[in-house]
Structure 1
Amino acid sequence: MSAQKAMTIRLSAEQAEQLETVASVENQPVSDVIRAAIASHIESVSKDAKFQEGLRERIERARGLLR
Protein backbone atom coordinates (compact mmCIF):
# COMPACT_ATOMS: atom_id res chain seq x y z
CA MET A 1 0.00 0.00 0.00
CA SER A 2 1.32 3.43 -0.90
CA ALA A 3 1.64 6.26 1.58
CA GLN A 4 -1.60 8.03 2.34
CA LYS A 5 -2.20 11.74 2.80
CA ALA A 6 -5.05 13.04 4.94
CA MET A 7 -7.08 15.84 3.38
CA THR A 8 -10.02 17.92 4.54
CA ILE A 9 -12.93 18.87 2.31
CA ARG A 10 -15.88 21.13 2.97
CA LEU A 11 -19.31 20.09 1.73
CA SER A 12 -22.67 21.75 1.92
CA ALA A 13 -25.06 20.14 4.38
CA GLU A 14 -27.01 18.76 1.42
CA GLN A 15 -23.90 17.23 -0.18
CA ALA A 16 -22.83 15.69 3.12
CA GLU A 17 -26.27 14.17 3.64
CA GLN A 18 -26.33 12.80 0.09
CA LEU A 19 -22.84 11.35 0.49
CA GLU A 20 -23.73 9.70 3.78
CA THR A 21 -26.89 8.26 2.21
CA VAL A 22 -24.97 6.80 -0.74
CA ALA A 23 -22.37 5.30 1.58
CA SER A 24 -25.05 3.85 3.84
CA VAL A 25 -27.05 2.30 0.98
CA GLU A 26 -23.86 0.87 -0.56
CA ASN A 27 -22.73 -0.30 2.91
CA GLN A 28 -19.37 1.41 2.46
CA PRO A 29 -17.41 3.92 4.51
CA VAL A 30 -17.84 7.50 3.33
CA SER A 31 -14.09 7.68 2.68
CA ASP A 32 -14.31 4.75 0.24
CA VAL A 33 -17.14 6.44 -1.67
CA ILE A 34 -15.11 9.65 -1.86
CA ARG A 35 -11.98 7.84 -3.06
CA ALA A 36 -13.98 6.00 -5.75
CA ALA A 37 -15.54 9.28 -6.94
CA ILE A 38 -12.14 10.97 -7.09
CA ALA A 39 -10.60 8.04 -9.01
CA SER A 40 -13.48 8.12 -11.50
CA HIS A 41 -13.13 11.88 -11.98
CA ILE A 42 -9.37 11.70 -12.49
CA GLU A 43 -9.76 8.91 -15.05
CA SER A 44 -12.43 10.88 -16.92
CA VAL A 45 -10.52 14.18 -16.90
CA SER A 46 -7.22 12.60 -17.91
CA LYS A 47 -8.82 11.46 -21.19
CA ASP A 48 -10.11 14.96 -22.02
CA ALA A 49 -8.27 16.74 -24.85
CA LYS A 50 -8.56 20.17 -23.20
CA PHE A 51 -7.06 18.80 -19.99
CA GLN A 52 -4.22 17.16 -21.94
CA GLU A 53 -3.43 20.48 -23.63
CA GLY A 54 -3.43 22.29 -20.28
CA LEU A 55 -1.15 19.63 -18.86
CA ARG A 56 1.29 20.00 -21.76
CA GLU A 57 1.32 23.80 -21.26
CA ARG A 58 2.00 23.39 -17.55
CA ILE A 59 4.88 21.00 -18.24
CA GLU A 60 6.40 23.42 -20.75
CA ARG A 61 6.17 26.32 -18.25
CA ALA A 62 7.86 24.17 -15.62
CA ARG A 63 10.63 23.24 -18.06
CA GLY A 64 11.13 26.93 -18.79
CA LEU A 65 11.73 27.56 -15.11
CA LEU A 66 14.41 24.87 -14.99
CA ARG A 67 16.49 26.33 -17.83
Structure 2
Amino acid sequence: MKVTIDRLEGDFAIVELEDGRFIEVLKDLFEDVSEGDIYEICKDEAAKEERTEEIMSLFERLKRKE
Protein backbone atom coordinates (compact mmCIF):
# COMPACT_ATOMS: atom_id res chain seq x y z
CA MET A 1 0.00 0.00 0.00
CA LYS A 2 1.34 3.41 -0.92
CA VAL A 3 0.49 6.47 1.16
CA THR A 4 1.10 10.13 0.41
CA ILE A 5 1.95 12.72 3.06
CA ASP A 6 -0.65 15.43 2.41
CA ARG A 7 0.45 17.85 5.13
CA LEU A 8 2.11 18.10 8.52
CA GLU A 9 0.29 19.47 11.56
CA GLY A 10 2.36 19.63 14.73
CA ASP A 11 3.35 16.09 15.71
CA PHE A 12 1.03 14.55 13.12
CA ALA A 13 1.11 13.76 9.43
CA ILE A 14 -2.13 13.85 7.48
CA VAL A 15 -1.80 10.87 5.16
CA GLU A 16 -3.80 10.13 2.03
CA LEU A 17 -4.47 6.44 1.50
CA GLU A 18 -4.74 4.81 -1.92
CA ASP A 19 -8.55 4.85 -1.72
CA GLY A 20 -8.59 8.63 -1.21
CA ARG A 21 -9.31 8.61 2.52
CA PHE A 22 -7.21 10.73 4.86
CA ILE A 23 -5.93 9.64 8.26
CA GLU A 24 -3.85 11.30 10.96
CA VAL A 25 -0.76 9.48 12.24
CA LEU A 26 2.24 10.44 14.34
CA LYS A 27 4.85 11.83 11.98
CA ASP A 28 7.54 9.98 13.98
CA LEU A 29 6.45 6.86 12.09
CA PHE A 30 8.12 8.29 8.99
CA GLU A 31 11.80 9.00 8.52
CA ASP A 32 12.71 12.55 7.43
CA VAL A 33 9.09 13.27 6.48
CA SER A 34 7.89 16.18 4.36
CA GLU A 35 4.73 17.07 2.46
CA GLY A 36 4.33 15.21 -0.82
CA ASP A 37 6.48 12.25 0.24
CA ILE A 38 5.19 8.84 -0.80
CA TYR A 39 5.82 5.79 1.37
CA GLU A 40 5.13 2.15 0.70
CA ILE A 41 3.81 0.18 3.66
CA CYS A 42 4.06 -3.59 3.59
CA LYS A 43 3.57 -6.42 6.04
CA ASP A 44 6.80 -8.16 7.06
CA GLU A 45 5.94 -11.79 7.83
CA ALA A 46 9.57 -12.78 8.46
CA ALA A 47 10.00 -10.05 11.09
CA LYS A 48 6.69 -11.05 12.69
CA GLU A 49 7.80 -14.67 12.95
CA GLU A 50 11.15 -13.65 14.40
CA ARG A 51 9.49 -11.41 17.00
CA THR A 52 7.01 -14.15 17.93
CA GLU A 53 9.88 -16.58 18.52
CA GLU A 54 11.66 -13.98 20.70
CA ILE A 55 8.56 -13.46 22.82
CA MET A 56 7.94 -17.19 23.21
CA SER A 57 11.56 -17.71 24.26
CA LEU A 58 11.28 -14.97 26.89
CA PHE A 59 8.00 -16.42 28.12
CA GLU A 60 9.55 -19.89 28.47
CA ARG A 61 12.47 -18.45 30.46
CA LEU A 62 10.06 -16.67 32.80
CA LYS A 63 8.06 -19.88 33.32
CA ARG A 64 11.26 -21.77 34.24
CA LYS A 65 12.12 -19.18 36.92
CA GLU A 66 8.84 -19.82 38.76
The bucket for the TM-score relative to the shorter chain is 0.3 to 0.5
Higher share in strand: 2
Bigger RCO of structures 1 and 2 (CA < 8 A, at least 6 apart)? 2
- Normalised by the length of structure 1, the TM-score is 0.37
- Normalised by the length of structure 2, the TM-score is 0.38
